[in-house]
Amino acid sequence: MRASVITVTMNPALDKTVTVDGIALARLNRIKEVRMDAGGKGINVAKVLRGFQVDVAAWGIAGGYQGRLIQDKLQAQGIPCFFLEGAGETRVNMKVVDESTKLTTEFNEPGVEVNGSQLAQFTDRFLQGIAGVSYVVLGGSLPPGAPSGYYRTLIEAAAAKNVPVILDADGEALAQGMEAAPYAVKPNIHELENYFGCRLQDDREIVNAARSLIAAKGVQLVQVSMGGNGSILVDGQEAHRAKPFPIVPVSTVGAGDSMVAAMVYGLLHQLPLSDISRLTSAAGTITASKAGTQVCTIQEVKEKQDSVELIPI
């Protein structure tokens, strides 16, 4: 069966989550629990979508034993995948969960270096594989060796096949990707402020900034996440601020990716913007209430979406 959504993770990771009672710097720390998961933004989106019963495939570049382990874990979860073989070992990202403070500290490796030949090969395969796909999600950092404009290359390739792209990146990867007019972008507030080079003081300034992307760059939908302060979803006609229901935050890992997955789910089901705003807020909030790399389920999201306060802007 052809996937209706393809997620692309150019710099995947094997997420190693360890739990400790407390972190003592420069001393021995004993680990209570360890878990290993396939990770990276696009992969996280794919895992959430699979849980939402969406036909999704995960693509990217991976290398070595750890790259094969990522693919094995995805396939075990029922997620078909294509990862071009890269040189060296795929990175390991360490997440240390301190149970005494409920805080998660992350240590991320840079990733496998890629070259122009590998990227050209991946682009060619991407062009062949996306025909008939409903949406493509490009997520996360680019690997060492990849030009900052590579997401732009993929967005332009998808446009040639009339496939809309949702881009979740930051810095130059976001800025250059925006030049190819992706269908939607999901910056957090800091990434949006960095893009414009200024502080956005209130909701109206955030909406105006998002609308300028719609007007100037051809983006159709802008989702701005603000952690515990909620999110704002903007298109050419509407803007909604979502205020999340209260939780005890445990880990922000995967919260933004859960929002992207919920956005895709809402778009696939042609939901109104207000419903998509509630879905994305509920998804991110529920995932932030879970430990380590655990994510929301569609049942949890649907049960809590009406608890999200929505304010038209």
Residue numbers annotated as active site: 257
Distance, CA of 171 to CA of 71 (rounded, Å): 28
Distance, CA of 163 to CA of 154 (rounded, Å): 11
Q: What is the DSSP string of 267-312?
A: HHTT--HHHHHHHHHHHHHHHHTSSTT----HHHHHHHGGGSEEEE
Distance, CA of 205 to CA of 93 (rounded, Å): 35
Long-range Cβ pairs for the range 18-27 (8 Å, 24+) = 18/94, 18/95, 18/96, 18/97, 19/97, 19/99, 19/291, 19/292, 20/96, 20/97, 20/98, 20/99, 21/98, 21/99, 21/100, 22/98, 22/99, 22/100, 22/101, 23/96, 23/98, 23/105
Lookup: tokens for 49: 């979508």
